[in-house]
Each structure stands twice: as C-alpha cells, then as structure tokens.
C-alpha cells in the first residue's frame, strides 16, 4: 500500500524546512524567494501532495471554509457571481460552501446555523430580509461577513451591490425624455428586499418630479398580475412605459404584451433591469440596465478575505451598472 506523502517529504525534496513549506501552503510568503516558491509548487505537483485540512484546522483553528448564503440559487444572476467567487478563490486555500434560503427566512436561519457548525472562517450573505434583528446572532458571533447584492437596516457589515437607485433614476429620466405619461413599475414583492425598494424609490421619485402617473404591480405566486393588467390596458389612453425591476419581471411583461399582440415601442414602451444579453438580440432590441455580477462576486470575496486577515471594514461598495439605450422606448 503506497505511503501517504507528507509535508516533510516535500520539504526534504526541495531542501527546505517543514516550516517553510507550511508557510507556503498558508500563503505567508514573507521573505521567501520566488525561486523557492516555484520549487515547492513543482514538488507538490510531482508528489501529488494534498494537505490534511482537518489537521491544519485543529492546529490553526481555521477551517479554510467560506460560507455563501444565496437567496435564490435558481436565479441565473446568482450563478455569475458564484463563478467569480470560485475563480477568486482558485489560488487560495479556501473552499466555498454554497447554500440557498429559497427566499425563506426560516430556511435562511437554519442554513446559517449549519454553516456556523462547520466552523467557517467567513460568510457572504444575500439576506432575505432587511430586518437586522434576524442577523443579530450572526453579528454577535464576530464572524467576518460581507453582504452581497442586498443590504439590511444596520451597519453590521460591508455591502457589495449594484448602484440600483442611481441607475434606475437614470432610466426613469430616459422615460421622461421619450415623452411617456404613465409608468408601470413591475416588481416582485418590494417590501424588505433592498434592491427592489431602491429601484422602486427611484422610479417613484421620477414620477413625482415629472408628474407621471405611477402604477405599481407586485407579482404574487397565485396570479399573473402583469397579464391581468395588460388584458385591460388601453394603449390609446396615455403613452405608457413598462419597467421590469428584474429579468423575471421583464420577461413577464414581454410575454403578456405578445399574448395580447401589443407591440413595443408602438403601443407602449418597455425597459428594465438585469439585461443578461437577451436585450440586444430581441426584436426590437431592449432598453435595459445590465449589472456586473462577476465583479460583485469578485469584490465580495476579496473584501471577505481581507476581513479574515483582520482588516475590518464597514465600507459599502456600489458596483456601477450600464444603461443600454436601444429601441424599446
């Protein structure tokens, strides 16, 4: 039976101490020369050495595990920043443990506790609610945490998200410039989910400042409220622009209009958030805001790793989005 390769075997073959190899494995290069680092890397690969993470965890009291709590893992938007997180961690000793809350506060609480039981070194959290009381126990645990995509009503941790309010307001001004008189804001339930609230507040501000009629439609599970509205929509009444607050809502608007054989921008205008490349291939092309989920994932991971090193921060970072002006308004 083949003998397991040990850290001492690697050290002997390179001609350095076991401590030097250990420092290399933990990313503490200090005054270690580039040549030594390359030699250690080569020998590790040649011997197919795999560190004993359990033993390391007992010695260093670090698991090298990071938790990620996603509100809805089926949302393709989440997949982009998950991929970026894994790429950011590729050259580190950290591994990502991914769990989803399915937008349930109860499931989120249960899964956070499961992650804590795994002795994770830090967590990236897409919170289900803005209620800070739901997360007080996590804050009091002193675990490094970064909020991703959503905020809560407490300055517990740094937040990495899109510049939702600013970009939605910019799109609202585009609607005004195109001469629309009515704005139909279509969203998933707005209350207590920060990006939805920020986007709604921006459109509400624009509607108030420029005297637009504002219709708010909040999607519910047992009714297609968008289809119901479009069924009785009178295109000749007022020039109307539909705004989908995310990709799912944007899709519902397009489906409802096509079912009624209404055209955009002839019968009404359409625009929205979360342009995941479909906007430029639809006919007519779609005016939409595209986020940068890959950069959100990368920055969230980088900030969390800095916090684990002891570099505390409560800085909130807005990742700029882009407004694509196309043919649908």
Q: What are phi and psi of 323, to 5 degrees?
A: -95, 120
SS3 content of the chain, % helix, strand, coil (to 5): 45, 20, 40
Contacts for 220 with CB less than 8 Å, ≥ 6 apart: 189
C-alpha to C-alpha distance for 320 and 248, rounded to whole angstroms: 21
Asked if 101 contacts 75 with a C-beta cutoff of 8 angstroms, the reply is no
Q: Would you place residue 1 in the very low, low, confident or very high pLDDT band (cuts 50, 70, 90)?
A: very low
Q: Would you place residue 28 in the very low, low, confident or very high pLDDT band (cuts 50, 70, 90)?
A: confident
DSSP structural state of residue 153: S
Q: What are phi and psi of 72, to 5 degrees?
A: -150, 100
E strand or H helix at 145: strand 145-148
Q: What is the pLDDT of residues 104-142, one digit of tens each?
A: 999 999 999 999 888 899 999 999 999 999 999 999 889
The torsion of the CA quartet 269, 318, 247, 202, rounded to 10 degrees, works out to -40
Residue 241 Cα distances to 235, 270, 279, angstroms:
10, 6, 16
Question: Tokens 């279509």 — which residue?
Answer: 186
Structure tokens at 292: 């940068």
pLDDT on residue 244: 95
Q: What is the pLDDT of residues 185-218, one digit of tens each?
A: 999 999 889 999 999 999 999 999 999 999 999 9
Question: Tokens 């799912």 — which residue?
Answer: 248
Inform me whether the pLDDT recorded for 162 exceeds 80: yes
Q: What is the pLDDT of residues 245-281, one digit of tens each?
A: 998 899 899 999 999 999 999 999 999 987 666 777 7
* Domains, the chain, with CATH or none: 7-51 (1.10.260.40), 65-162+294-320 (3.40.50.2300), 164-290 (3.40.50.2300)
């Amino acid at each position: 039976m083949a003998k397991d390769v040990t850290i001492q075997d690697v050290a002997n073959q390179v001609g350095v101490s076991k401590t030097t190899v250990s420092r290399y494995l933990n990313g503490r290069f200090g005054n270690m020369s580039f040549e030594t680092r390359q030699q250690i890397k080569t020998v590790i690969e040649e011997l197919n050495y795999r560190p004993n993470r359990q033993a390391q965890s007992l010695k260093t009291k670090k698991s090298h595990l990071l938790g990620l709590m996603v509100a809805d893992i089926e949302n393709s938007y989440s997949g982009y920043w998950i991929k970026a997180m894994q790429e950011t961690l590729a050259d580190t000793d950290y591994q990502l443990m991914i769990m989803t809350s399915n937008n349930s506060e109860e499931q989120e609480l249960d899964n956070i506790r499961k992650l804590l039981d795994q002795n994770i070194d830090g967590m990236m959290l897409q919170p289900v609610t803005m209620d800070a009381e739901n997360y007080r126990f996590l804050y009091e645990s002193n675990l490094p945490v970064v909020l991703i995509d959503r905020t809560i009503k407490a300055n517990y941790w740094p937040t990495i998200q899109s510049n939702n309010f600013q970009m939605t307001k910019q799109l609202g001004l585009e609607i005004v410039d195109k001469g629309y008189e009515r704005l139909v804001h279509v969203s998933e339930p707005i209350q207590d989910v920060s990006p939805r609230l920020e986007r709604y507040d921006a459109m509400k501000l624009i509607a108030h400042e420029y005297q637009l009629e504002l219709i708010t439609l909040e999607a519910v599970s047992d009714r297609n409220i968008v289809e119901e509205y479009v069924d009785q929509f009178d295109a000749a009444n007022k020039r109307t622009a539909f705004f989908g607050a995310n990709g799912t809502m944007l899709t519902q608007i397009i489906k409802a209009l096509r079912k009624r054989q209404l055209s955009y921008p002839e019968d009404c205008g359409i625009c929205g958030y979360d342009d995941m490349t479909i906007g430029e291939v639809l006919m007519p092309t779609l005016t939409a805001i595209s986020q940068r989920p890959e950069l959100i994932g990368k920055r969230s991971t980088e900030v969390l790793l800095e916090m684990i090193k002891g570099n505390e921060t409560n800085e909130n970072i807005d990742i700029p989005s882009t407004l694509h002006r196309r043919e649908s308004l």
